[in-house]
Amino acid sequence: MSANMEFVFPKDFWWGSASSATQMEGFSEVDGKGKNIWDYWYETEPNRFYQGIGPDITSQFYTKFIEDIQLMKETGHNSFRFSISWSRMFPNGRGDVNEKAIVFYNHVINTLLEYKIEPFVNLYHFDMPMAMQEEGGWESRSVVDAYVQFATTCFSEFGDRVMKWFTHNEPIVPVECGYLYGHHYPALCDFRKAVQVGFHSILASAKVIKVYHEQSLGGKIGIILNVTPSYPRSNQPADVDAAEKADLLFNRSFLDPSVKGRFPAKLVDMLQKENFLPKYEAEDLKIIDENTVDFLGINYYQPRRVKAKESMSNPDAPFMPERYFDYYDMPGKKVNPYRGWEIYEKGVYDILKNIQVNYGNIECFISENGMGVEQEDRFNNEDGVIQDDYRISFYEDHLKWIHKALHEGVNVKGYHVWTFIDNWSWLNSYKNRYGLVSVDLQDDYKRTIKKSGYWFKKLTENNGF
Ligand code: BG6
């Protein structure tokens, strides 16, 4: 350890990065993989995707994973999160498993272990198999059962070596993007369906947690939530109430059932008042209550700034969460000039303290935090190495707050950045680059470690900075 380190982290802190199958693997038509909603959408509406680049190719992890895992080692990873593609494992969502998918994921897991990088495996990252979407996706109970089958197969194939599992990444995102705001397939705007999708995602998570615990495989299972702290414009009761409603809808809707086993009473009241409670069976609530997570991954990018509604919503417009609050553009806020998102480092501390105080200080880690940059090749030096000092500062500034939380007793075990390598991001495709390693789309997807990748190696070697 160097003498002048100010921010030192515990010895076995999890340092690494996160990724997802659709965003990284590519080869979406290869080796028996079935179509998921992204493959289908790209096939039918390619113009929705930035520069017309779809999920078929992405960063080619499917063939380059050995080189990539070596790069993870070179950038100091001791852990790495990836997701298993449901439609690669089960091309039709259920039924016969694709043996080639098992071979691939075994190879990835074994290579990671060989390099002493712990695999963190997520089971669902926005990638509903198309066959399941045709049955209604998360709206449908039969899809919940198919997901349980998929997860059970993953546990029996990989559970002897994978000790950290996650049932979902950011389950609020398919709710918002698929059923309210139109960024993901099926691009509906239907509050009732959105609530049902959210409820079934939680039910699916609890059912899978139950299966995992029954198998006694010796590991842990959790969920990854994008917790977005809601800050009111002022201390006026109406603003505070608006912030609380946003928090209930976007954060506590998943945090409470995942960790405490029950939905917040205030949220239930809000939905009941508007007659938006989901359909459920009595037994569902028992399953959710009895099968909570062992630990929690928290993704943090930016806060939500809200104020009381200043004008009535048009009663004829579709019902949206914004019936309860308005967004507020805070003057003087710090902004990432290359992506437009607010940067508010203290947000990560506020989330961690909230987990400590209100969620029994459950074991957690920061499972995504990152800074997207448009046209990042403008920051190349003459050797083609991106000089991303802005990203290094971004990470350090967040780590300082995580360090403070740690020293105040928060049970935070690690920090994963988004992401290891520049990857394809849904409708934004390759617009915003986030990697510690760059990918050159014009030159056979050549990988080059960025300045932040070298910084990350030092950070993890020193366990601090
Ligand atoms: C996270 C998601 O919320 O945001 C990732 O888990 C996504 O899948 C990332 O890529 C960044 O989003 P964007 O739109 O800036 O690429």
Q: Taking CA 80 as the corner, what is the angle to CA 393 and CA 356, rounded to the nearest 5 degrees? A: 70
Judge whether 30 lies within some domain: yes
Q: What are phi and psi of 14, to 5 degrees?
A: -85, 110
8 is a domain residue: no
149-185 pLDDT, tens digit each? 999 999 999 999 999 999 999 999 999 999 999 999 9
Work out the average pLDDT over 385-408: 98
Number of H helices, E strands in the chain: 17, 15
Residue at 398: amino acid letter: H
Average pLDDT over residues 20-31: 96
Give me the number of domains the chain comprises. Answer: 1
Active site residue 368: yes
For 263-277, what is the mean pLDDT? 98
How far, in Å, is the centroid of ligand 1 from the Cα of 462? 28
Going from the C-alpha of 103 to that of each of 94, 106, 378, 454, the distances in angstroms are 18, 5, 39, 32
pLDDT band at 3 (very low <50, low <70, confident <90, very high): low
Q: Whose CA is nearest to atom 12 of ligand 1?
A: 425
Residue-wise DSSP of 278-323: PP--HHHHHHHHH---SEEEEE-S--EEEE---SPPPTTSPP-GGG
Each residue of 341-388: pLDDT tens digit? 999 999 999 999 999 999 999 999 999 999 999 999 999 999 999 999
Other Cβ atoms closer than 10 A to 302:
17
Asked whether the predicted pLDDT for residue 1 surpasses 50, the reply is: no
Digit-coded pLDDT (tens) for 191-215: 999 999 999 999 999 999 999 999 9
Tell me if 89 is assigned to some domain: yes
> What do you get for the CA distance between the two ends of the chain, in Å?
9
Cβ 223 vs Cβ 168: under 8 Å: yes
Domain presence at residue 3 = no
Q: What CATH number has the domain bearing residue 248?
A: 3.20.20.80
Report CA(437)–ligand 1 centroid distance (Å).
16
Joined tokens for residue 344: 């508010």
Q: What ipTM does the predicted assembly reach?
A: 0.94
Atom of ligand 1 nearest to the CA of 341: 15
Residue 242: inside a domain: yes
**Domain contains 1:** no
8-state DSSP, 375? T
Q: Are 257 and 286 in contact (CB under 8 A)?
A: no
Q: Is residue 111 part of a domain?
A: yes
Residue 297 is which amino acid? Answer: G
Residue 226: domain span:
14-462
Residue 35 has pLDDT above 60, yes or no: yes
Give residue-wise pLDDT tens across range 94-130: 999 999 999 999 999 999 999 999 999 999 999 999 9
What is the pLDDT, as a whole number, of residue 313? 79
Q: Is residue 220 part of a domain?
A: yes
Task: Name the residue among 11, 143, 9 with its Cα closest to residue 87.
Answer: 143
Best residue among 368, 420, 421, 430 to mutate for probing ligand 1's pocket (most ligand atoms within 8 Å of CB) is 368
Residues with CB under 6 A from ligand 1: 20, 23, 169-170, 226, 299, 368, 372, 418, 425, 428, 432
